[in-house]
């Protein structure tokens, strides 16, 4: 949802839930609105396998320890 890129308004979780439900064979990468680790958890629960978290990372809203469960190679 590019309208949410950099806006820090939260990701469009419903969009990714619907996409993952309709097209389960696609590895969905979420983008737009990620504010914190709670948003990453919600996206993972919705079926997204990855998420772009640029501004939240740049602003230090997520620590390395919080991100650890989401990192494939630690």
Q: For 12-28, how does the pLDDT look when each residue is reduced to its tens digit (9 = 90+)?
A: 999 999 999 999 999 99
59 CA to centre of own chain: 16
Identify which of 64, 51, 59 has the alpha carbon closest to the alpha carbon of residue 12.
51
Judge whether residue 7 has pLDDT over 80. Answer: no
Whole-model pTM?
Answer: 0.86
Angle at 15 between CA 10 and CA 16, to 5 degrees: 90
pLDDT at residue number 6: 66
**pLDDT digits 0-9 by tens, 24-53:** 999 999 998 999 999 999 999 999 999 998
């Amino acid at each position: 949802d590019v309208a949410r890129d950099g806006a820090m308004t939260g990701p469009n979780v419903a969009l990714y839930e619907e996409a993952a439900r309709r097209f389960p064979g696609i590895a969905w990468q979420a983008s737009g609105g990620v504010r914190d680790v709670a948003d990453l958890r919600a996206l993972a629960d919705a079926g997204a396998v990855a998420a772009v978290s640029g501004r939240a990372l740049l602003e230090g809203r997520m620590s390395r320890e919080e991100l650890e469960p989401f990192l494939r190679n630690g």
